[in-house]
Structure 1
Amino acid sequence: MSIRVVVVDDQAVIREGLMTLLDMMPGIDVVAGGANGEEAVAQVAETHPDAVLMDLSMPVMDGVEATRRIVAAHPDVAVVVLTTMADDQLILDALEAGARAYLTKDSGKTEIVRAIEAALARHTTLDPIVQERLLAAALRGADHPTEPRRVEPSQDLLTPRESDVLRLLAQGLSNRAIGRRLLVGEATVKTHVNHLFAKLRTHNRAEAVAWAHAHGFGPGADGVGSGR
């Protein structure tokens, strides 16, 4: 079945171009377009899409607030941010609102479709520029531990199993996929993830992933099951 997508952007040329481009991609069915966050919320309620491609800077209601409302009312709808901005706070605001991916408008059509597919599988996709900014913010946090979001918990607090989960989390795997890799149930993985959030003092998966990359748990780190 095709993935049903709503495209939201306040610039008509960009919105209509994206709608046409994505509608030509195999497996994608663009069901509606919106010019602001308020229209996005209404279109999602009316068309029941699988995913929303969301701009952030828009009149009437911005993309962050629209994302928050959509995710609250329709938790199964995957919101993928596509914007020109990669501001640190805006990135965190969008991800905390529930966006499952954050892309810049330099992304190509194939990257956008892959991000939508990954978001539907509950994987987090971040544009390389966005990853760099989150990593830089995490590293700055090590120098300023008293600032909000800038705490530096110890890796020694993590159990070997929590370290395994963090490595897989850093690879973008969903709880279900992590469970399959570790041969445990999804509920068990969720418990480990919640423990990680508490120990790392992070608020969501994106912040935990940023912390993981900044502390050697990303791609290229020791294999799962080795402990630390």
Structure 2
Amino acid sequence: MTQLQMRILIADDMEAHIRRLERTFSGHEDFECIARASSGNEAVTLAAQHQPDVILMDIEMESQYAGIHAAKQIHEKHPHIKIIVLTVHKDENFIFAAFQTGITDYLLKNASDVEVIEAVRAAFKNESPIRPMIAEKIREEFVRVKKAEASLLNIIQIISELTPSELQVLRLLCEGKKRKQIAEERCVEYETIKKQINSILKKFQMPDAAKVIQTINDLRIFEVMRKL
């Protein structure tokens, strides 16, 4: 019985790495390297032309995110093609950006030949695992999001307790206005603005206005409020 071959396209701008992968697959009868690309743009073209089963895609080629942009285009036009990112980048920004394109798996270039072979076979069978590194990044992101949600709800609650005057002063502070400018704009005494800012700090339980401003601007509170 003839063994079904997995047709592979390798996209990498490093010739040495392409040759290493080709040698790895050459020792297995169920793999066939049908094409090689040295850029993301070329990978998109060759994917359409050859319709491989699996693509091993580097990220940083002609640009920092070339492989990610290519993966997105390929997945949109040929969703049946499995894409495995094979890269040196283990930063969560690259990982999440890659998975958002619809890739199947994410491996680091220091993965062993056995790991690469197993990853391709798993992708071909729709059995790709969630790797420990990816699971940890997901857990960290979940914790970060939950903390941000809790912080946002807390800030919204505090803002709801501000007086209309305090809210206006806070908005002007977040716009970069100085206390004297705010007093002039609101046609009130400078001391009145100082008292209102002190009241704001007490409600936020923060030591200085700079910390409050940073928190509000990081969460884009007034930007969201303008859209309501």
**TM-score, length-normalised on structure 1?**
0.60
- Structure 2 CA distance, aligned partners of 1:32 and 1:104? 21
Q: Equivalent of 1:8, from 7, 11, 23?
A: 11
- Structure 2 CA distance, aligned partners of 1:129 and 1:105? 14
Q: Equivalent of 1:30, from 28, 33, 42?
A: 33
TM-superposed deviation, 1:146: 6.3
The aligned residue for residue 105 of structure 1 is 109
1:39 equivalent in alignment to 2:45: no
The aligned residue for residue 50 of structure 1 is 53
Contact 1:53 1:81 in 2 (8 A): yes
Letter in 2 for 1:68: K
The aligned residue for residue 97 of structure 2 is 93
Contact 2:86 2:109 in 1 (8 A): yes
Q: Equivalent of 1:70, from 74, 77, 80?
A: 74
The aligned residue for residue 20 of structure 1 is 23
Structure that is richer in helix per residue: 2
Letter in 1 for 2:22: M
- Structure 1 CA distance, aligned partners of 2:85 and 2:138? 16
Letter in 2 for 1:12: E
CA separation of 1:77 and 1:146: change in aligned 2, threshold 3 A: farther
Partner of 2:149: helix, strand, or coil? coil
Where does the alignment leave 5 or more consecutive residues of structure 1 unmatched? 149-228
- Structure 1 CA distance, aligned partners of 2:151 and 2:124? 34
Contact 2:6 2:124 in 1 (8 A): no
Partner of 2:35: helix, strand, or coil? strand
Partner of 1:122: helix, strand, or coil? coil
Letter in 1 for 2:148: H
The aligned residue for residue 148 of structure 2 is 144
The aligned residue for residue 219 of structure 2 is none
Letter in 2 for 1:59: E
Letter in 1 for 2:48: A
Letter in 1 for 2:43: A
The aligned residue for residue 189 of structure 1 is none
Query: How large is the Cα RMSD of the aligned pairs?
Result: 2.0
Contact 1:102 1:125 in 2 (8 A): no
The aligned residue for residue 223 of structure 1 is none
CA separation of 1:80 and 1:121: change in aligned 2, threshold 3 A: same
Partner of 2:61: helix, strand, or coil? coil
Partner of 1:144: helix, strand, or coil? helix
**TM-score, length-normalised on structure 2?**
0.60
TM-superposed deviation, 1:93: 1.1
Partner of 1:97: helix, strand, or coil? coil
Which protein shows a greater Rg? 2
Equivalences, count? 148
- Structure 2 CA distance, aligned partners of 1:48 and 1:84? 26
Contact 1:100 1:125 in 2 (8 A): no
TM-superposed deviation, 1:130: 2.9
Does 1 or 2 have the higher relative contact order (CA < 8 Å, sep 6+)? 1
Q: Among the aligned pairs, what percent are the same residue?
A: 26
